[in-house]
Structure 1
Amino acid sequence: MRISENDMLELIAFTLGDQEFCIEVVSVREIRSWTPATMLPHSPDHVRGVINLRGAVLPVMDLALRLGLAPAEPSQGSVIIVTQIGSQIVGLLVDLVSDIFTISAEEIHPAPDVSKTMDREQIRGMIPMDDRMICFLQLNALFGAIESEAA
């Protein structure tokens, strides 16, 4: 989706380890507390397994591992952000939801060109806020990669 500099975006920020990331609120269906997942044989390393979401089977992805960070160590404070992109619903395991905020598109800075091509596709940009830097993730790129791995 193309956004113009005048567009306002509502974002939800969360932490993975000591880093902060965000995604668009419009992609979030709900936020729920951590529930241990049932492992699936032969699934990619970043797929923690599945949980029961009101009768539906929800795959849960370790977002830290998916992004090349150290695997998440779920605790009672961990949450699952239930996201929807198109028809696909996936839970994202994160350490903590830290903020919900609105910014204009012009406040998003391009990500520096220091990572692999696939990583750059997953990052929409960087958002400087107060004394911190928030990485704005492109969920479509993450979900597209999941779909191709499942094929």
Structure 2
Amino acid sequence: MLPQSLDKFSTDLGDSVIEIIAFEIGGQQFCVRTTAVREIRGWSKSTPLPGSPHEIMGMMNLRGSIIPIVNMATKLGMPPSEPDARSAVIVAEVQNQVIGLLVDRVADILTVESSVVQPTPEMRGSFTGGHVTGVLATGQGMICFLDLDRMFAGFSIEEEAA
């Protein structure tokens, strides 16, 4: 039986095919649904925001709108990524807010059957990986499927900037 989050994941679109964007952070592969993504941009320096949480790298002007840039490595509890020429910002809409997600590189855009996404193993203890809703095995390794709504639950630009 699928965990509730993965069951919801499988049936949200009403079909069995899902489009995902795969990306790399700290040598690991992750992915999100393309439905949450507005665009993918190359890295350009962001403006630091004093007093912001450690995962917020700063702000970026996106065609007249100011959006926060989140260092996804830090958000996932990994050592912070230092942006370079291969880094990318995935501009996503999460809980009706537009945010930029800094990743080491975008690997691919894939169409997969929802049935190939396996649930994450249940773990006890202090593991807080509830934002990983599934795992996709590929010929190149495992891709962790991130639930951006869970990952950014309670995130608010107004609160973060205050």
Do Structure 1 and Structure 2 share a fold, with TM-score over 0.5? yes
Deviation track 1:31-77 (CA, whole Å, cap 9, x = no partner) reads 11111111112111000000111111010000010000110110011
1:17 shift after superposition:
1.5
1:119 aligned to 119, 129, 141, which one? 129
Deviation track 1:83-133 (CA, whole Å, cap 9, x = no partner) reads 01242100000011001111121111111234745422x011100011310
Distance 1:135 1:145 in 2: 22
Consecutive unaligned residues in structure 1, runs of 5 or more: none
Partner of residue 89, structure 1? 98
Structure 2 letter corresponding to 1:51: M
Partner of residue 68, structure 1? 77
1:6 shift after superposition:
5.0
Partner of residue 40, structure 1? 49
- 1:112 is paired with a residue whose SS is coil
Cα distance change on mapping 1:51 and 1:148 into 2, 3 Å: closer
Structure 1 letter corresponding to 2:105: L
1:136 aligned to 141, 145, 154, which one? 145
Distance 2:55 2:137 in 1: 28
TM-score by length of 1: 0.90
Partner of residue 50, structure 1? 59
Structure 2 letter corresponding to 1:119: G
Q: State percent identity of aligned pairs.
A: 37
User: RMSD over aligned Cα, in angstroms?
Assistant: 2.2
Does the Cα contact within 8 Å between 1:6 and 1:104 map onto a contact in 2? no
Consecutive unaligned residues in structure 2, runs of 5 or more: none
Cα distance change on mapping 1:28 and 1:7 into 2, 3 Å: same
Does the Cα contact within 8 Å between 1:6 and 1:106 map onto a contact in 2? no
TM-score by length of 2: 0.84
Does the Cα contact within 8 Å between 2:74 and 2:80 map onto a contact in 1? yes
